[in-house]
Structure 1
Amino acid sequence: MGSTKKGIMYVLLAAVLWGSSGVCAQFIMQESQISAPFLTMIRLLFSGFILLTLSFIHGDKIFSILKTPKDAVSLLLFTIVGALTVQLTFLVTIEKSNAATATILQFLSPSIIVAWFAAVRKTWPGGLVFLAIFTSLAGTFLLVTHGNPTSLSISPAALIWGIVSAFSAAFYTTYPSTLIARFGTLPVVGWSMLLGGAMLLPFYAGNETHFVVNGGLLLAFFYLVVIGTALTFSMYLKGAQMIGGPKASILSCAEPLSSALLSLLLLGITFTLPDWLGTLLILSSVVLIAMDSRRKGHAKQPG
């Protein structure tokens, strides 16, 4: 199998597993009565530890990022606004609605990123990007109103948390590029997760937290942390390196689709026609942005 086909397979499998991890998180919260913040804390602590361990085994100097105050402050900002916020808001959105809706709303982040850079650079977005922003807004409108602007098909809390999740995902995607270039992806993301989980510990230390634990839930938690976070993250990175960012972005659209289908099959959550149309419009915005990035990349290449 060629490297391109392998890359496509890695990214597609990672996207499907990511989608399934949201469904898994919803199952855990429903069956165990664990709150979204508590699950966020446990997930971040375990995932951060696993990623840092993998990074150390890989030969990375995982403590280098903590030695310089400027880098440590940048990591702290990324931890609070990025890793902690994106995980917490995503799981709270699931808690207030469902995994599929939370995943789809988070996919507004590419449109937020391109709109933000256009505003900062004071440049009008190109045709494809402008169309992407429009389709993402239209998709969100359909998803949350079912076409009726006088009523919401999801709770206001779910909508607000979902939008915050999209903004935090946009920050999470764009902010750490300098840190990653200097220290590597695994150390940066691993530390941000571990520290983010540690920041939630004081809220639960010494407090009794009641929840149900059984073999099925432990297996689901193992899947969420090991398969749905650490393994999936590594697979996506490897695949994206093989096929490039734009292609990886398009293939990652399998994540919300897998989340919606698994929610339907495993959790009995039904999607109406406006839900599916809204989903497809939001996903089309990701494809349009990836196409625009790919076109610009080709334009920069020497003839």
Structure 2
Amino acid sequence: MSQYIFETHHLPVEWLVAVRLLLSGLLLLTISLMLGNKGKVTGIWRQKKSAVSVIIFGLFGMLAVQYTYMASIESGNAAVATLLQYLAPAFILAYLLAVRHTYWNIRDTGAVLIGLSGTFLLLTNGQLAGLSVPPAAVIWGVLSGMALAFYTLYAGPLLAAWGSMNVIGWAMTIGGAAVSFLHAPWDAEWESWTWSVAGSVIFVVIFGTMIAFWFYLESLKYLKPQETSILGCLEPLAAILASVWWLHVPFGLYQSLGACLILGMVVYLSLPQKQRTKPASA
């Protein structure tokens, strides 16, 4: 839907990110208040540590994920942008290996090779002469994967202490307010708007942002993280199908194979494994 907006209505990325984050964040906070969570909605700002953490999460987690992802879609297409964002597990793995004192094994090597092979096929469609998508889309997509990795690793303590609805609501509001300095939400060519434009933007705000983030995090109450990650693979599959069938984005055979490899890497890394740490030296 965001790609449709960029292609047909030519709305700026900064405007769409600001509007979708601000409206979604305020809606989530309003729902949380209506559910009787005023203590947590306001309490997160009464503790200096949690206040600083939610600001960092809002700017370098939520805003970074949203802006880089939307920029990748605008520069290329939704299918490639979503798949590049799903390289996040590989970045998370690299972080854990570097910081959390885990050691490299055959499983990690296999995951990285699968992910790199899939990315190569996705971006080149098997042609070594050049990229099948614009370089800007690749850069923004990889940055989106890195931002999603940070988003995933940093959010845990905040979500445990204050609840997903409150943390996501404030993070979206903070991120939306920050990007508003680049393009104010009220600064749009309203005279050229149609019902199609309004409906598309409302869909992105309600279904593509608020409900998507809320439901994904709420699922962790009922599913194991591995199950949630695997089910989350429906997102890039839906993006590919919608891009090809609805927006008529060309998607070659080798790109399809690359997509399967990237999704395979996500599933592979989501499967349970034994905890492994570096043995203490003598």
* TM-score normalized by the length of structure 2: 0.91
**Residue equivalent to 2:232:** 252
- Indicate yes or no: 2:270 matched with 1:290: yes
**Residue equivalent to 1:90:** 69
- Indicate yes or no: 2:96 matched with 1:117: yes
Return closer, same or farther for 1:128/1:86 CA change in 2, 3 Å cut-off: same
Return closer, same or farther for 1:96/1:206 CA change in 2, 3 Å cut-off: closer
Q: Residue by residue, what CA displacement relative to the aligned partner does 1:240-295 show, whole Å, maximum 9, x if unpaired?
A: 3222110111111111111111111111112101110110111001111111xx23
**Paired residues, number:** 272
**Residue equivalent to 1:270:** 250
Return closer, same or farther for 1:175/1:282 CA change in 2, 3 Å cut-off: same
| Residues in 2 aligned to 1:205 and 1:27: alpha-carbon distance in whole angstroms | 21
- Which aligned pairs between 1:148-159 and structure 2 lie closer than 5 A? 148-159=127-138
| Residues in 1 aligned to 2:220 and 2:163: alpha-carbon distance in whole angstroms | 15
Q: 1:233: how far off?
A: 2.7
| Structure 1 residues not aligned, in runs of 5+ | 1-23, 298-303
**Residue equivalent to 2:279:** none
| Structure 2 residues not aligned, in runs of 5+ | 276-282
Q: Residue by residue, what CA displacement relative to the aligned partner does 1:45-89 show, whole Å, maximum 9, x if unpaired?
A: 011011111222232220111112222111111111111111000
State the secondary structure of the residue aligned to 1:176: helix
RMSD, matched Cα:
1.8
| Residues in 1 aligned to 2:220 and 2:235: alpha-carbon distance in whole angstroms | 15
| Residues in 1 aligned to 2:209 and 2:181: alpha-carbon distance in whole angstroms | 24
Bigger relative contact order, structure 1 or 2 (CA pairs below 8 A, ≥6 apart): 1
Contact 2:14 2:183 in 1 (8 A): no
Return closer, same or farther for 1:59/1:133 CA change in 2, 3 Å cut-off: farther
| Residues in 1 aligned to 2:135 and 2:203: alpha-carbon distance in whole angstroms | 30
**Residue equivalent to 1:27:** 4
**Match for 2:15 among 25, 38, 56?**
38
State the AA in 2 paired with 1:222: I
- Which aligned pairs between 1:60-99 and structure 2 lie closer than 5 A? 60=37, 61-99=40-78
**Residue equivalent to 1:12:** none
State the secondary structure of the residue aligned to 2:251: coil
* TM-score normalized by the length of structure 1: 0.85
- Which aligned pairs between 1:125-274 and structure 2 lie closer than 5 A? 125-205=104-184, 209-210=188-189, 212-274=192-254
State the secondary structure of the residue aligned to 1:295: coil
Return closer, same or farther for 1:206/1:160 CA change in 2, 3 Å cut-off: closer
Bigger Cα displacement from structure 2, 120-129 vs 44-53:
120-129
Q: 1:227: how far off?
A: 1.7
Bigger Cα displacement from structure 2, 221-230 vs 211-220:
211-220
| Residues in 2 aligned to 1:196 and 1:242: alpha-carbon distance in whole angstroms | 28
